[in-house]
Amino acid sequence: MNLLLSLVRSAASKPPCASRGINPRATRIIPRLAPGGLDEKSVGLARLFSSKPPCASRGINPRATRIIPRLAPGGLYESGARAPGGLYEKRSRLALGSLLGACLLASCSAPVTAPPEKPKPVATAPAANERTASPVAAPAAKQAASTPAAAAVIPDRPEKIAFQPLAYEPPAAADFRHVLPDGTVVYLAPSHEFPLVNLAITFKGGGSLDPAEVPGLASMTARMVREGGTAKLPPAEFDETLDFLATEASVSANETFTTATLNTLKSNFDESLGLFLDMLRTPGFDQGRLDTAKARAIEGLKQRNDDASSILAREWKRIVYGTNHFESAEPTGATVDGIDRDRLAEMHRRIFHPGNAIVAVSGDFEPKEMLAKLEKAFAGWERGDVAPAPAVPTATLEPGLYHVPKEIPQGKVVLGCRSIERDDPDAIPLLLLNEILGAGGFTSRLMQQVRSNEGLAYSVRSAITPRVTYPGDFRAGFESKNATVALATKIVMDEIRKIRDELVTEDELETAKRGLIETFPRQFESKPQMLRVFVNDEWTNRPKDFWKTFRQRVDAVTREDLQRVAREHLDPAKMAILVVGDWDEIAKGDLDKRATMNDFFGGAVKHLPLRDPLTLEPLPAP
């Protein structure tokens, strides 16, 4: 490392190379690799650090101290370097080594030439606007002039940095919305940076349309639309054709929507679009591919008890939404085995048609040309009825303590209750409250108390997941070693009570507000993402001014608003606590007896059975 420091000082103190302004000693150390090697920017950087006189105090180019103020005398690295072997001295050496590397690498493209002769001294005094030839006084003077200016630009503490107010207006969906002659809604967002086109068709309906006796049918249908070929092309030939065109196509279904996407080169868009729509309109549902997909699905079902997290999620949905709602429905080996081509075709007819679709296209195209292509491609595709809205759950959450047995060293816990609908007037205050309670990462109360202060869990979070047409749920979750599950649960419940009983601080509220407001533009950070927002808003009838007024409504929330919604929507007495783990080890609590599972609901626990992964029938108690 001392050698690196010596080389930097030497590189900065020698006269520049006549042809390139590079220290000749550097060109001797690392000879030129190839003609036209590195780019001019690298050479310019080398000139910057080698063609000026050295800094008197450290042998560092004074111009560099204007670019990197920490290298200036009295800066972070300079002051730290005074402690031999200290952290800052190491950083200083790394920084100096980086400067040397830039100089040496740049010199690789410079021709090796003899150093110029030293100019003879001239007896005349320099003009007022000329640089002095003094190797010490001039850099020192320039450094003295530059250091205060740099200090004025860069504060000495991060919290002193002042930012301009964020000026951003969200895009309006109406500016991107079009309607084809057949009534199909299309959103277009041209973007000419790359010769690519991304097309997505969002169909209403997904798992919410599954028959009660065949959960997972919509998901399997979406999968087979993509994997089962078309009426004209068998699966392997269809896949090979897409690969030849460098085109990606996918189809997937969640609980409420089914989405088909196409990503292709602009030059191949017409042919790719034809294949894509042929796949959606007339899927082949190849029997061999269907058998393979069913076998893979069944193998996946066999493993769903391997991870306690999947058990926790499955049983929590049953507690929150009941056993007869699509959100809690799970496929079994028998229901998967019962899926055939006729069932797939029936689900396909319900979902895949223009009357149930909204199209979004972004990428390298002209809007008029794209609309003409889509009109032609959709011609003759019969429109059907729009899929119905998801059914509203009829079950009521029963508060209490629940347990599912599994021999694991750490218990997994989720606790919570039913919450609100998406467009509830309390949605934004509750969103801010959740940021403070448990969704705000390391600034949240749950993370500070459970992880930072007590060390009981690696991660703890809370979430609010409202649904569009019915109340969703609030939940907090974590995992902790068996002996501390009770204590961690007690701390989480105490924090919920505290946020109900006491006003949050002004700093907490301001941090939560800034988090939502300053990250707001990320909702629209790319053209495809922006169009996804517009499509979702249209399908779910979100108020048209929602995004335009979002930040103002966030900023208007008060501490009293947060306490009001906490008292109304977060009542520990109406919550359920679900634990997956070894109950004998969990129930007795921690060694210091700060908490046991008897502290919750009077110690009354409902032991739920671990279910067979293939049949979901209760397994015999161990």
Task: Judge contact between 387 and 350, C-beta under 8 A.
Answer: yes
Burial 447-478 (b: 16+ CB within 10 A, else e): bebbbeeeebbeebbbbbebbbebbbbbbbbb
What does the pLDDT read at residue 159?
82
- Rounded to an integer, the average pLDDT of 92-114 is 45
Side-by-side strand order, sheet with 576-581: 460-465, 473-481, 410-418, 576-581, 400-405, 605-607
3 state SS of 8: helix
Task: Judge contact between 66 and 60, C-beta under 8 A.
Answer: no
Tens-digit pLDDT profile for residues 207-236: 999 999 999 999 999 999 999 999 999 999
Pairwise CA distance, residues 52 & 63, whole Å: 8
Q: Alpha carbon of 253 to those of 258, 269, 348, 391: distances in Å?
A: 4, 24, 12, 17
What does the pLDDT read at residue 148?
52
Tell whether the model's pLDDT for residue 62 goes beyond 60.
no
The residue behind tokens 């011609």 is 379
Task: Judge contact between 29 and 19, C-beta under 8 A.
Answer: no
Pairwise CA distance, residues 199 & 191, whole Å: 13
Pairing of strands 605-607, 400-405: parallel
DSSP state letters, 86-106: -HHHHHHHHHHHHHHHHHHHH
Tell whether the model's pLDDT for residue 179 goes beyond 60.
yes
What does the pLDDT read at residue 50?
42
Task: Judge contact between 198 and 530, C-beta under 8 A.
Answer: no
Task: Judge contact between 371 and 178, C-beta under 8 A.
Answer: yes
**In 10 A of CB 565, how many CB atoms?**
24
The residue behind tokens 């049949």 is 615
3 state SS of 261: strand
What does the pLDDT read at residue 152?
59
CATH fold for domain 400-607: Cytochrome Bc1 Complex; Chain A, domain 1 (3.30.830)
* Residues in contact with 405: Cβ distance below 8 Å, sequence separation at least 6, in sequence order: 581, 582, 583, 607, 609, 610, 621, 622
Burial 124-151 (b: 16+ CB within 10 A, else e): eeeeeeeeeeeeeebbbebbeebbeebe
Query: 401: buried, middle or exposed (CB in 10 Å: 19+, 13-18, 0-12)?
Result: buried
Task: Judge contact between 608 and 458, C-beta under 8 A.
Answer: no
Q: Which residue has the higher pLDDT, 107 or 328?
A: 328
Q: What is the DSSP letter of 448?
A: I
Least-confidence region, from 96-100, 317-321, 442-446: 96-100
CATH code for 173-378? 3.30.830.10
Tens-digit pLDDT profile for residues 310-348: 999 999 999 999 999 999 999 999 999 999 999 999 999
3 state SS of 571: coil
What does the pLDDT read at residue 154?
85
Give the tokens for residue 439. 């969704």
Residues of the chain with CATH 3.30.830.10: 173-378, 400-607
Give the tokens for residue 410. 């750490």
Q: What is the DSSP letter of 412?
A: E
Q: Alpha carbon of 17 to those of 61, 136, 381: distances in Å?
A: 16, 21, 73
Q: Which helix (H) or strand (E) holds 492?
A: helix 485-501
Give the tokens for residue 311. 């058990």
**In 10 A of CB 446, how many CB atoms?**
25
Tell whether the model's pLDDT for residue 7 goes beyond 70.
no
Least-confidence region, from 18-27, 248-257, 561-570, 601-610: 18-27
Pairwise CA distance, residues 581 & 485, whole Å: 10
Record the pTM. 0.75
What does the pLDDT read at residue 29?
36
Greatest C-alpha distance within the chain: 104
Rg (CA), the chain: 33
Amino acid at position 330, single letter: E
Q: Alpha carbon of 315 to those of 22, 415, 490, 592: distances in Å?
A: 70, 12, 21, 31
Q: Which residue has the higher pLDDT, 24 or 230?
A: 230
3 state SS of 550: helix
Query: 461 has which bridge partners?
Result: 477
Pairwise CA distance, residues 492 & 503, whole Å: 17
